[in-house]
Amino acid sequence: MMRAMPEWVADAVFYQIFPDRFARSGRVHVPGPLEAWDAPPTQHGYKGGDLFGVVERLDHLEALGVNALYLTPIFQSASNHRYHTHDYFTVDPMLGGDAAFDALIEAAHDRGMKVVLDAVLNHASRGFFPFHDVLENGEASPYFDWFHVERLPLRPYGPGEPGYACWRGIPALPKLNTENAEVNAFLISVLRHWAERGIDGWRFDTPEEIVTPGFWEAVRDAVKAVDEELYLVGEIWTDAAPWLGPRFDGTMSYWLGGHTLVYASGGAFRFEITKHEYPLVREPVDAVAFGDHVEAVMTRYTPAQQQANLSLYGSHDTARALTMLAGDREAMKLATMLLFTLPGAPCVYAGDEIGMEGLDDPGCRAGFVWDEARWDQDLLETFRALIRLRREHVATRRGRFRRLTRSGDVFAFVMEHEDETLLVATNATGEAASAALGLDGARSFGDGALVAGTLTLPARTGAVFSIAR
């Protein structure tokens, strides 16, 4: 019998934290020099953020309105991003170890905040003990079949081909053999261990790389057996419908988020700086094309799946949203309004709310700016206002999407719930625009007017209206 989606996710506002770059606490021993916090980030440098630092900054997140945290990997590793896992059962000492993890779980839960961790199951690292055993002992290693060994001797540092399958050809990331029952049992034990330690969900890295029949279904069953309310979300960049239900509760909605940025830019999106084909469209998107895309995405998912998808327009894997928008604050506000009103649990990448900029990795992974004199206070207040709007209006969280406009320069839709109906409308062009909608109501957010059923919006703005019932 299929378990329901976690009840809490529809009401969540997520905040993504890259722990090494969020905040230093000064409480964690560091074995050597760190990269200067305000220096441009590098591919391999550590800045020394830690989990105690996250605890110390929860006031900022609570004031913002956040009630769920998504942390990129925290387990012992030899990389600042920690997607190169050495020990799946140990929190990295440079992040404060298990003591800092326990402190974070307790502090977050005391504030009513959920904590979701990042799980990297497709590949490990050269420092992962079973892989090291294979390096030392070759075919005599009891872990030999844990990996896809193609030839011996292995060459993890070159020259030439490494001799084993690895993620995107990177020798530092040997691919795990999920056809091996011992490997699967190990990975499931990891997921259950941290679920029992108090986390509220898992975000799964590169799940499309694991094609072993039944693997993800077994993962879901094992984790949900610990707690049915644990949130399971996969990193799927395009159409995620096949991954939902028996596998994940939701997926990361880059498919919608990228189009949102392109539409909000009003034709000024910086396609030339994006990687991974993001934003998954390579030409300008007007109101009609954007409406078509949103409608197509919504028809792929049930209403419950829509609510459980993790909505975002940028992350540690993309250039900063404001940079992709060529620094246009009005476009950023418009995109953010859509992020918080379209179906899905919105996720803010740490620093977007204060106007941080940066190109793709490593530029998007700079140390968080804690000097408030450098914050974009106007943008920050927009984020706070939209989070308040979402908290105060159930239709934004649990309503059903219905598109209103199919022509012209206004993209408008309603979110309908048994308790209320909200009208959301945007105009990404450089001129004022209007649309006859046949609805009346009071403005709850933004600029514009709704008079006698006709909506008028100034250039590059959006508005939300509570519709009279």
Which residues are marked as active site?
205, 235
Buried b (16+ CB within 10 A) or exposed e, 12-29: bbbbbbbbbbbbbbeebe
| Residue 291 in tokens | 């409406």
Q: For 452, left (φ over 0), alpha (ψ -120 to 50), or beta?
A: left
Would you call 170 helix, strand, or coil by DSSP?
coil
- The DSSP H or E segment spanning 68 is strand 68-71
Burial 82-99 (b: 16+ CB within 10 A, else e): bbbbbbbeebbebbbbee
Measured distance CA(69)–CA(347) in Å, rounded: 9
* Separation between Cα atoms, residue 341 and residue 17, nearest integer Å: 22
Place of tokens 């539409």: 263
Rg (CA), the chain: 23
Residue 195 — φ and ψ, nearest 5°? -65, -40
Q: DSSP 3-state assignment of 250? A: strand
Cis peptide before 162 (omega within 30 of 0): no
Q: Which two tokens stand for residue 277?
A: 């084909």
Q: Report residue 213: phi and psi, to 5°.
A: -55, 130
Q: Which of 144, 164, 147 is nearest to 156 (CA)?
A: 164
β-bridge pairing 410-417 and 420-427 = antiparallel
Burial class (CB in 10 A: 0-12, 13-18, 19+), 31: exposed
Instruction: List the strands of the sheet with 14-17, edge to edge.
Output: 250-251, 231-234, 201-204, 114-119, 68-71, 14-17, 345-349, 310-311
Cα 2 to chain centroid, rounded: 25
Sequence-ordered list of residues with C-beta below 8 angstroms from that of 335, at least 6 positions apart, any chain:
260, 261, 263, 264, 313, 321, 325
By DSSP bridging, strand 345-349 and strand 14-17 are parallel
Closest to 355 (Cα-Cα) out of 338, 331, 388: 331
- CA 407 to chain CA mean position, Å: 32
Coil, helix or strand at residue 380: helix
